[in-house]
Structure 1
Amino acid sequence: MKRQFATSVYVIHENKVLLLHHRKFNKWLPPGGHVDPNELPSNAAIREAMEETGLEIELINHSPYEFSFPNAHTLPTPYMMLLEDIPSSKKEEQHQHIDFVFLGKYISGSILANERETLGVRWFTKQEVNDIPEEDLFPDVRIVLDKLLS
């Protein structure tokens, strides 16, 4: 099965999390998308957040180490990594995403939803996440949100 690198980022601000209503899947998801060729996953997460929401974010690094030498330096470490099964669609066959899942914090900007990809973007409290119907949220997203907002 074909595999592609992807990234997603849960952006937290004032005890709320940023989610977008994904047009293709018709579900609430964190911002994210494919990692472009030769692009670092961390840069893809920042780029996708800006493209889909209009917000500038900063990633939260989960690495216990941070250093920079002429020949090597650390990169932002994801919160987790997921292997996700993506069903076939009109445009592509079934495949998998190797998803670098980051946490981020809001830096600046106002929400400007990318209407080509989303049906809306908004901040959710824990209670509002709990009120999202089961069919509108992937189970793994709900588990991560529950942990992040607890």
Structure 2
Amino acid sequence: MSFLDRLDSTVSRYLAEVAGPHERLALLRWQIGERHALDRRETMPGHVTTSAFVLSPDHTQILLIDHVVIGRWLQPGGHYEPAASFHESALREAVEETGVAAAVLHAWHRGGDLPFAIDSHEVPGNPRRNEPPHTHHDLQYLFVADPALPLTAQEEEVHAAAWKPIAALAEIAPLAFARLRALKPAS
């Protein structure tokens, strides 16, 4: 199955099974319908990214990064890189940016590739890469890891990686934060 067919199937399933009534993902669905190369960062007005909400087993902490370009704390993630599943792309970004060890896909996903949230959001341009402002269609996945294990920030993209109280996510990703509050911790 091609990347776009896989993405179309994933987005359709998300809209049917997870999305709230105001989540329409109009731009993403239009770009899929127009057959844009959404797996390429040059594709405008937007392209796919993946990110990881890495939780402590008791759901009281979340792993965040201090992003060099954006200049604020965010969940680890980045431009989609080819992988067998979207969640594997998200996990690869988390490991690269934070050095988090032994993270596992959260039980909410039931071993599948359905995103916990899809957040299409505007990002500033990057003059170093000659990128104008554009949209990231971020497929977001949940993982669980031990916050006692050491972290190593990837210094090219990340000033720091740290475990923060889960409430820090309220400003960063309000949709995901609201959904997380309804989840039970891993047992």
* TM norm structure 2: 0.61
Cα 1:89–1:76 change in 2 (3 A) is same
| 1:113 paired to 2:153 | yes
Matches of 2:178 and 2:83 in 1, distance apart? 33
Which structure features the higher share of strand residues? 1
Q: Kindly indicate whether the alpha-carbon contact (under 8 Å) linking 2:74 and 2:172 is maintained by their aligned counterparts in 1.
A: no
Matches of 1:97 and 1:118 in 2, distance apart? 18
Q: Deviations over 1:39-96 (max 9, x none)?
A: 53111111001100111311225457x6xxxxxxxx3221111111122220211221
- 1:82-101 to structure 2, matched below 5 A, reads 82-90=119-127, 91=129, 92-101=131-140
> Which residue of 1 is the match for residue 36 of structure 2?
none
Which structure features the higher share of helix residues? 2
Matches of 1:44 and 1:103 in 2, distance apart? 12
| 1:28 paired to 2:60 | no
Gap regions ≥5 residues in structure 1:
67-74, 130-136
- The counterpart of 1:79, out of the listed 113, 116, 119, is 116
Matches of 2:135 and 2:170 in 1, distance apart? 15
Say how many residue pairs are matched. Answer: 133
* TM norm structure 1: 0.74
Comparing both chains, which one has the higher relative contact order based on Cα–Cα distances under 8 Å and sequence gaps of 6 or more?
Answer: 1
SS at match of 1:21: strand
